[in-house]
Amino acid sequence: MPPVALTVTPRHSDGMELTMLCVFLGGLEAFPLALAASLTLRPDKSQFFVHESLVLGCDLEGNSSCWRVRHRGRGRVTDVCTSSDPDCSMELLYPLDTGHYWCESDAGERSEAVGIVVTAGGAVILESPALPVAVGGVVTLLCTSRHSSSSSSSSHFYKNGVLIGSSRTGNLSVAAVSQSDEGIYKCNVSGVGESAPSRLTVRARRPEPPTPPCLAYILLPVVGAGLIVAVATLLGIARRRRGEVEQTVNYSNVTFAREAKPQRLTDLDSGPTFYSTLNLDSL
């Protein structure tokens, strides 16, 4: 049966991304899973000489069974490769390969398009990133000549038609890229020729994902339960110790005798009195 394709949602990042789903379930219910994909280019540059090579692909997070790379040039849209191909390599580039490339799902949703220029008769190309670059990164623009003897010539770089710098080495670096660096670039080599224009696209960096708020809801009950267990354990230990102390105490009946009061003289007079005769002569 054909694959079941669900909703595809494009989103921006440092490259071009889209989310898509392709699930073979054999008639079972399809579950709504989302997969992110980004168009990849090796090498990542927007201009090529004839007979250079290019490798394209869709880098998916998860199942990659449904992607395909498409090309639009000279009013026609064609498939360059699909997920069933072992690779997506264009070994020999020709001017007909000039155009825009993107990833697309079976549902028809697609990522942003990347422009590629294949120069036929031109002697100079500008090697700049074809994929969007991130804010804060470093971009190196390379003005390349087909003729090696021109390597000692000066290269001049232009942005939106305005000269922005020259180099004897043929490259110009843009440090700490910002949104203002986005635009149309080209270069020329003195005495050799000028490149075709290419667009440099700048994308804001994706912010770091915040700590999920649910983490606090998970940790707080765990910490609270731990405290309750600790307190209950301490109370149990204290009760056991108190019980042991109480068991060692021996109780007995103690009788307190009331102390007899001494008799006073008045008490003696109150009793009966006996008199006797003492014979002193017999002593």
Give the pLDDT confidence of 44-54 residue by residue, as tens digits. Answer: 999 999 999 99
Q: Is the pLDDT score of 5 beyond 50?
A: no
Angle at 126 between CA 177 and CA 206, to 5 degrees: 30
CATH of the domain at 202: 2.60.40.10
Of 78, 104, 120, which marks where a domain is finished? 120
Q: Is the pLDDT score of 125 beyond 90?
A: yes
- Does 5 lie in the same domain as 72? yes
Of 178, 206, 234, which marks where a domain is finished? 206
Total domains present in the chain: 2
pLDDT band at 165 (very low <50, low <70, confident <90, very high): very high
- Give the range among 57-71, 115-129, 254-268 with minimum mean pLDDT: 254-268
Give the single-character DSSP code of 183. Answer: E
Most confident of 58-72, 94-108, 136-150, 184-198: 184-198
Q: Which of 111, 4, 118 is closest to 58 using CA atoms?
A: 111
Mean pLDDT for the stretch of residues 2-21: 37
Q: Is the pLDDT score of 248 beyond 70?
A: no
Domain containing 20 equals: 1-120
Between 74 and 239, whose confidence is greater? 74
Residue with tokens 């731990």: 226
Q: Which of 174, 173, 45 is closest to 115 using CA atoms?
A: 45
Whether 60 is in a domain gets the answer yes
| Residues in CB range of 134: below 8 A, 6 or more apart | 14, 177, 202, 203, 204, 205
Q: What is the pLDDT of residue 105?
A: 80
Q: Is the pLDDT score of 121 beyond 70?
A: yes
Strand 89-90 relative to strand 9-12: parallel, antiparallel, unpaired? unpaired
Of 89, 120, 151, which marks where a domain is finished? 120
Whether 41 is in a domain gets the answer yes
Whether 81 is in a domain gets the answer yes
This model's pTM is above 0.75:
no
Q: At 274, phi and psi to the nearest 5?
A: -115, 135
Residue with tokens 């354990």: 233
Q: What is the pLDDT of residue 269?
A: 53
- Does 82 lie in the same domain as 70? yes
- Does 1 lie in the same domain as 116? yes
Between 115 and 28, whose confidence is greater? 115
pLDDT band at 24 (very low <50, low <70, confident <90, very high): very low
